[in-house]
Structure formats: C-alpha cells, structure tokens
Structure 1
Amino acid sequence: MNWLSESIMNKRGVGVDREPVNHHLTEKLQDKYHYTIGPYSRPVMEIQPGDRVIVETRDAFEGKIGEETDKPSELLKLPFLNPQNGPILIQGAEKGDVLAVHIESMSPRGKDPHGFCCMVPNFGGLTGTDYTALLNEPLPEVVRKVKLDEENVYWSRRHTLPYHPHIGTLSVSPEIDSINSLTPDTHGGNMDVPDMGPGSITYLPVRSPGARLFIGDAHACQGDGEVCGTAVEYASTTTIRVDLIKNWWISWPRLENADALMSIGCARPLEDAARIAYRELVLWMTADYGFDKWDAYMMLSQVGKVRLGNFVDPKYTIGAMIAKRYLK
C-alpha cells in the first residue's frame, strides 16, 4: 500500500478527493523573488486545496555566482540571499488550520545543470560570525561549481555524491511579522532539514488568511548541519501538491514520510531547538496517538532520533523523529 493513502494529509486534507489543477509558477510569472516572508507582499497566484504547483526556484544566490573565480563578498549582499517563490494563496486557509505540502519531485533546471557550494566570509559553523563574535580573520572565500543530474552530484574527480534533493526554505506567513528568508521559526523558513524532499509532507501552521506559501532554496544534497554554511545550491523545478487541514492547531512545523513523523524546532542555542522539537513530538504523540505524556517522554528517550537541519543560520534547526511502527 502506498504510504500516502495512509498519510495525515490524505486522511484529513479537504482537497484529497479533488482532481488537482496544475499550476506553473515560472520565473516569468514570479518576476520578483522575495527575501522576506510575511503578510504584505503581493500574491503571485491563488490555488484550491489539493492543487499541484510546478515551481521554478532560483539558487540561494539568485544566479549571481557563476564561476569558481567569483568572490561572494563582491557579488552577494546580506540579507539579500535565499530568494523565495510566492506567496501562493490557498483558498479557505485561515488561522488555526494547517497547510500540508507534499513534495512530489525535484529536478535540476538548465541545459548544463550545476550547483554551487561557497564559503562566505563570516558565515558558517566553524568560523566567527555576527552572532558568534570572535577576533579571528574570516576564513578564505572558496567557490565550487558542481555538475549534477537527477542521479548524481559530481563533487570532484575523486568523489561522486548521490543526488538527494530537498527544499531548504518552506514557509507560511506569520500573522503580523515579516521575517527574512534566512531565519527559521514557527512559520517554517530556512530550516534546511534534509528530509524535506521528494516523498515528504511538511505541515505548516497557518497564521494569516490564505496561508501565503513561500518556497525556495533547493539543495541537490546536504549533510546534517550544513556546516560550511551552504549546501550544493541549485536552480530547480520543484513539484508540490498542497492541501489544507482545517482546525488542527500546531505550534511548529511538522514532517511526515513513509517511515517516520518529525517535529521541528528552531532556536539558539542548539539545545533549545532540540527541546522544542522533542516537546512538540511528545505533545503530538499524546494528542493524536493515545500516549500518556510521560510514557511518550520516556519512550522517546529510548527510540527517538534527531536530525540536525543547520547550525549556521540566525536560528538553528532540529528535527525530532519517531518511527511510525511505534505509533501503532
């Protein structure tokens, strides 16, 4: 049996029985990509629950890095990184609902598909930054141009990596704030969770009318932590199906795939992100799967798993997971 038929989205989504309408969010239609996620930007399209959107995302540098001789410090300007498609309005979405985003596929764009991994001054996990203030000189600027296709990422003559794509930034709008596209929080944002790729469903808490979905920051592959600050950043064609779950109040993003459920927390320091993620998973198990709270807490101490999204952004991201077989 296809796991999607038993997914939360399929059981509770209001658009599950609709024949999906396919929408194409091209670069031309998007026109202006966004660096903030909030309730004030002009929507690019409106869809119904259950519809499919084929999205042309740009890389995290919006195409400004083109060669290995380029210097990020000369071409990139913080905080104008991580361009986002959207916002997409979903009919009927209102505060207290949940948006379900099933990533169906991700493929590279362009005649000669490639991505870039960069070391950017004062950015990354093993250097001084504006948030971790040290007196060391910035690490060197390094740009690597990486060929890729839908099977492999050709990192070097020595190493070929598997193509394991995911969406780094997926969000709905906060109720009143506008948050830069580099910062994750309760709305989603730049979570960089490697599990958020094809074959996953992300659940986002709706806080504003229409939900206002933003998506971007495709990664061809990424290790836990995104330690140097960037993954293999590339322009993608990403296909998503979007549904709406009414009257399901959640505080933080959640994720489902064939084998597990995940709660996602974002904070500094890193241990607070882990606490949020595990707390939300305990509450989820208690509310929806019949667990006693303290039984869930102690059980996660035995079988819970942690996924490190990133520890390089203004807030760090942790996913706390439990295998579905323990929920039966």
Structure 2
Amino acid sequence: MQIIEDKVYAFSKDNPPCYTARPGEVMVFKSLDCFSGRLTDETVTMRDMDFSYNITNPAAGPVYVEGAEVGDVLVVDIYDIQVADEGTIATDDHCGPLFEGTEYRTKKIKIEDGMADFNGVRFPINPMIGVIGTAPAEGAPADGFVGNYGGNMDNKLITKGTRLYFPVRVPGALLQMGDVHATMGDAELCGTGIEIAAEITVRVSVLKNFELHWPVLETFGPAGRWYVNASAQEYNEALVCASKEMQRLLMAITGWDAINTYMYMSVQSDVEISQGCKPCEVQLSLRIGTPKLPQFPPLVG
C-alpha cells in the first residue's frame, strides 16, 4: 500500500504530484498536526511561532489520479483514521466569538484507548479530516482556507466510513489532505480542535462527466444523508451557495420543479455550521444535509 508523506501548504495546479494512483487504489496519507508539530509543549504558544497560512495546515500529497479529467468527480472513501497519542488545543487573541480577552494558551491532550482527557474529563474521540480537496482551476489558496475545491472545510463528519465527492478542475485532480482532529465541535469555536498527527487510509475512484459545483459528503446506514459543503466570508452567501447546489442536485434526481424542491428542503434538510471562527480571516464553512431518497437515484452518481 502506497504511503503518501510529501507535504504541501497550498492547493494549486502547479504542485507537482508525489504519486500517481489508479482508480480503485487504496493509499495511506501521513499528516502532521496543523502546527507542523511546532507547539512542542504547553510553554510554547501560537504567539511564539510564525502562524502564517503559508506554513500551517500541511497537507499530504498531492496525488494525481489516473483518468480524472476536468468535468469529472473524484470520489474519496475514508476507510480509517489512526491518530497519535497526544494532541494539541491552542488559543490566540483574534479567533472565534470570544476572542476579546482570550489569551494565547496551549493545552496538550492525551489520547488513550480511544478517549481524550481534558482536565480529568474523559470523552471518546472521533477523528476527522479538517483539510481535504483537489486543486482549483486557478490560484493557489493556502491549506488553511476553504472553497469550492474543498480545502479547510473542518467538517466533523469527514471521518471513517464516509465518502466524499470533489469536482475535478485540473487533470489528475491532485488530491491532498491533512489537519486531522481527534475530535472537534461544530464551528470549532476557539479555532482549533484537538489537532493531531494521523495516518489516513482512503480509496480513490473517478465518476466520469458529472457536474458538481461544491464538494458533497455521503454518510451511510439507516440515517444516511447527503451533504453539500459550501463556504463564503459571510453566512448568508455560504447558505445561498449550498442551498442552490442541493436544490439543483435534488431536482436532477427527482424531476421536481424548483419550488417543490425548495419546499422539500425546508422540511427535510438541515443547515449545520462546520467552521465559523470570525474574526479569523478563514471563510465560514457550512453544510446542508438531506436524507437519502431510496426511491430515486443517488444524489451524486
């Protein structure tokens, strides 16, 4: 099984691929924490490091996927996420709703037997991938940012057993991922989850000639849902982007008109904030989830 260890700090079509994968291939992406391991103990804070977005959130990759062409969709199945035995939470003075009066602080969190320990309070971890996506057609956004190519979505549902769909905008897609959290609450209020090094096992495949404007996540089981992930500087703009894409995809499989689809979304779809750390400059990231409709074709496929 191929191990992907090369690191990049931006999503770009100009990043040389470190490996070429075949559709159906399983790989392991080895990722550092979002600080690249530089917060070595609790005496070192983000004040002590250059927290430029050009040197944080390192992503393993990118991987060129054979047969992935512009206009296709890259499918990524998350098979497993194995995390290190210690993670880091850190605060600064410019991130999240309580940034005023918040000081720089670093807290190390021990992970043992699938449990995290925060000041004697133990709770189960649920490792998730913060940064994952494909290269955009233009530009080179730093890994800490998010967009219609994926990136720093910080969606806590991107975990073992889920499937992701990304628009392919450059040949080979150029998949990369990192910024794993042992656990994270929706919105990531102080700006970090339990940031941790990890090994991510995924399978890649290609869906040919499918129009997709934003990344989509699929969950399975009796409560399986489809989620459109969107982002923008402001909540309303992100909500409109996600709503339009969910409406478009639902109309395509059901044959309903726009108004019927909008009404269905109002009674069955949920809006959830993935990451909202304003006044941090990272865009707000949200998801709209809709239950699967077994009487219709898959939303993406």
TM-score where L is the length of structure 1: 0.85
Structure 2's unaligned 5+ residue stretches are: 297-301
Amino acid aligned to 1:46: T
Specify the alignment match of 1:123 in structure 2. Answer: 95
- Residues in 2 aligned to 1:296 and 1:326: alpha-carbon distance in whole angstroms: 16
Is 2:214 the counterpart of 1:246? no
**CA 1:124/1:34 → structure 2, altered by over 3 Å: closer, same or farther?**
farther
Q: Greater CA deviation, 165-174 or 69-78? A: 69-78
Specify the alignment match of 1:151 in structure 2. Answer: 114
- Residues in 1 aligned to 2:201 and 2:78: alpha-carbon distance in whole angstroms: 6
* TM superposition shift of 1:48: 0.6
Kindly indicate whether the alpha-carbon contact (under 8 Å) linking 1:125 and 1:229 is maintained by their aligned counterparts in 2: no
- Residues in 2 aligned to 1:299 and 1:175: alpha-carbon distance in whole angstroms: 33
Kindly indicate whether the alpha-carbon contact (under 8 Å) linking 1:264 and 1:317 is maintained by their aligned counterparts in 2: yes
Specify the alignment match of 1:235 in structure 2. Answer: 197
Specify the alignment match of 2:154 in structure 1. Answer: 192
Kindly indicate whether the alpha-carbon contact (under 8 Å) linking 2:69 and 2:168 is maintained by their aligned counterparts in 1: yes
Kindly indicate whether the alpha-carbon contact (under 8 Å) linking 1:61 and 1:76 is maintained by their aligned counterparts in 2: no
Match of 2:243 among 254, 278, 289: 278
Match of 1:97 among 54, 69, 72: 72
Specify the alignment match of 1:315 in structure 2. Answer: 283
Kindly indicate whether the alpha-carbon contact (under 8 Å) linking 1:218 and 1:234 is maintained by their aligned counterparts in 2: yes
Specify the alignment match of 1:52 in structure 2. Answer: 26
CA-to-partner distance for each residue in 1:141-195, whole Å, 9 max, x for gaps?
11110011452111221x2122111100111001121111111011100000111
**CA 1:76/1:160 → structure 2, altered by over 3 Å: closer, same or farther?**
farther
- Residues in 1 aligned to 2:92 and 2:77: alpha-carbon distance in whole angstroms: 32
Match of 1:65 among 14, 32, 39: 39
Specify the alignment match of 2:258 in structure 1. Answer: 293
- Residues in 1 aligned to 2:75 and 2:116: alpha-carbon distance in whole angstroms: 29
Classify the secondary structure of the residue corresponding to 1:180. coil
Match of 1:269 among 234, 240, 247: 234
Identity of aligned residues (%): 27
**CA 1:325/1:152 → structure 2, altered by over 3 Å: closer, same or farther?**
farther
Classify the secondary structure of the residue corresponding to 1:280. helix
Kindly indicate whether the alpha-carbon contact (under 8 Å) linking 2:29 and 2:61 is maintained by their aligned counterparts in 1: no
Amino acid aligned to 2:114: E
Alignment of 1:5-16 (within 5 A): none
Q: Greater CA deviation, 286-295 or 235-244? A: 286-295
Amino acid aligned to 1:35: Y
Structure 1's unaligned 5+ residue stretches are: 1-21, 128-135
Amino acid aligned to 1:268: Q
- Residues in 2 aligned to 1:161 and 1:327: alpha-carbon distance in whole angstroms: 38
Specify the alignment match of 1:11 in structure 2. Answer: none
Aligned residues: 289
Q: CA RMSD in A?
A: 1.5
- Residues in 1 aligned to 2:91 and 2:39: alpha-carbon distance in whole angstroms: 12
- Residues in 2 aligned to 1:150 and 1:325: alpha-carbon distance in whole angstroms: 37
* TM superposition shift of 1:314: 1.8
Match of 1:302 among 245, 250, 267: 267
CA-to-partner distance for each residue in 1:220-262, whole Å, 9 max, x for gaps?
1111100000000000011011111010011111110111001
- Residues in 2 aligned to 1:124 and 1:78: alpha-carbon distance in whole angstroms: 17
CA-to-partner distance for each residue in 1:57-110, whole Å, 9 max, x for gaps?
10000000111111211124212210111110000111100001111110113x
- Residues in 2 aligned to 1:246 and 1:229: alpha-carbon distance in whole angstroms: 37
Kindly indicate whether the alpha-carbon contact (under 8 Å) linking 2:153 and 2:275 is maintained by their aligned counterparts in 1: yes
Specify the alignment match of 1:7 in structure 2. Answer: none
**CA 1:300/1:126 → structure 2, altered by over 3 Å: closer, same or farther?**
same
Amino acid aligned to 1:237: E
Classify the secondary structure of the residue corresponding to 1:63. coil
* TM superposition shift of 1:303: 1.4
Specify the alignment match of 1:324 in structure 2. Answer: 292
* TM superposition shift of 1:326: 7.2
**CA 1:326/1:281 → structure 2, altered by over 3 Å: closer, same or farther?**
farther
- Would you tell me which structure has more helix in proportion to its own residues? 1
Classify the secondary structure of the residue corresponding to 1:211. coil
Kindly indicate whether the alpha-carbon contact (under 8 Å) linking 2:153 and 2:285 is maintained by their aligned counterparts in 1: yes
- Residues in 2 aligned to 1:168 and 1:73: alpha-carbon distance in whole angstroms: 22
* TM superposition shift of 1:290: 3.2
* TM superposition shift of 1:327: 6.0
